[in-house]
Amino acid sequence: MNTFGYLDVNDRIDKENFHFALIAAKQLANKFLINGRYVAEESWGPEGNLYLAESAWALLDMFRITQEKLYLSAVAAILNELKRIQKPSGGWALELGRSGLAFTVTDEQRRITSEVEDLPPTVATLRTISEYYELCGDDSFMPMGKKAFEYLMDHWDNNYGSFLEKENSPLRKLRSNPRAYHLFSFLGIKYWEKHEPKKIKIILPTILNFIKDTFESFDSETMPLIYGLHVAVLLEHMDMNYIENSIYTRLRKHLMESKFAIGEISGGYGHRDGLRGIVKDEAHIRSACGVAIALKFYDLYTKTDTFRSTKEYRELAQWIIGMCNGKYFNEFQMTSTLQKLGYGSPGQYLPIWWILGRM
């Protein structure tokens, strides 16, 4: 099976738009260098600890490509902050920050997300620690990774097929599809396998089956970002028959002919969250990047231009790039006024994943 992380950069990078990935990466890195946090005066929604890990993945790949130390330094700042806030149990809480322009949370929801360990940021951080160590040889963060792994294994349930999350309804309601967040279980554990090969070799296929089952439950109302990220992971691990039938068919049916597409904005997609359902009064870069990642990665894996040659993909790519103002990517565009707003961290790392061809 192919692994996108080891594709030649000349194959996976969108050279025409690489400059825009650099803009986003520098925006992220310079923000994180201050104190390991991303603070935007104007963001679509609250920043949480899962975004720290996801941003770090983008920055580590940019370092891999450019060898510019700025990106490693930014990831070190992120890891130092994560070290400071790691729970005694070994896990991390989600820790939602202040409300954003479009998606707000209550003080009670914010309190809950700061007190209770949360699976996605915990397991996603494992990958950050492992990749950082692999790229620069600094093992100072490995002890907190080992502690996090022990915490996760205490919550492993083979019958369930993944790690059991704490029952916390208010927190889970913030997610458009709670089960889908186990995608991060696979990504985190996969990158930790070299450190715990015996244990992870046993559980990794089980988590992959969990992700596959989750993907097959998706329908036309599943958030495009969640859909797209599952496609990107499954492309690496499923056989060509599954890719050319199940994945291809679903891409055509659910993403190319999407309920989330906004007719008034060419290439724009709405989104879905756990509190408001499908939202189409704003075109969101999360959804657009989710679709773009799925379509591009399909073509990368199959060595075709099946989707990238389509009018729909060109319009989608044009909209995403059009959200960059030369300093950062805006996160969303109002359907009624066409005003572009927000520059939270998802608005930066998601275009990087898409342009570099690696999540």
pLDDT digits (tens, 9 = 90+) for 296-326: 999 999 999 999 999 999 999 999 999 999 9
Residue 230 is encoded by which pair of tokens?
A: 């599952």
Report CA-CA distances (Å) from 266 to 133, 261, 262, 310, 313: 42, 9, 7, 14, 11
DSSP 180: G
Question: How far apart are alpha carbons 10 and 356 in whole angstroms?
Answer: 10
Question: How far apart are alpha carbons 223 and 249 in whole angstroms?
Answer: 17
Yes or no: say if 24 and 354 are a contact pair by the CB < 8 Å rule.
no
Residue 34, Cβ density class (10 Å: 0-12 exposed, 13-18 middle, ≥19 buried): exposed
CATH class, 4-356 region: mainly alpha
DSSP 25-74: HHHHHHHHHHHS----SS-SS---HHHHHHHHHHHHHHHHHH--HHHHHH
Confidence class of residue 1 from pLDDT cuts 50, 70 and 90? very low
Question: How far apart are alpha carbons 236 and 321 in whole angstroms?
Answer: 26
Residue 129 is encoded by which pair of tokens?
A: 């620690």
Helix locations, 67-176, DSSP H? 69-85, 107-115, 119-136, 142-153, 169-172
Query: By C-alpha distance, which of 93, 86, 23 is closest to 58?
Result: 23
Q: Over pLDDT 70: what percentage of the chain?
A: 94
The pair phi, psi for residue 332, each rounded to 5°, is -150, 160
Query: By C-alpha distance, which of 255, 273, 218 is closest to 100?
Result: 273
What is the structure's pLDDT at 190?
96
Confidence class of residue 110 from pLDDT cuts 50, 70 and 90? confident
The residue ranking higher by pLDDT, 46 or 187, is 187
Domain boundary assignment for the chain: 4-356
DSSP 116: S
pLDDT digits (tens, 9 = 90+) for 256-277: 999 999 999 999 999 886 667 7
Rounded to two decimals, what is the model's pTM? 0.95
Yes or no: say if 298 and 251 are a contact pair by the CB < 8 Å rule.
yes
Yes or no: say if 332 and 342 are a contact pair by the CB < 8 Å rule.
yes
What is the structure's pLDDT at 174?
63
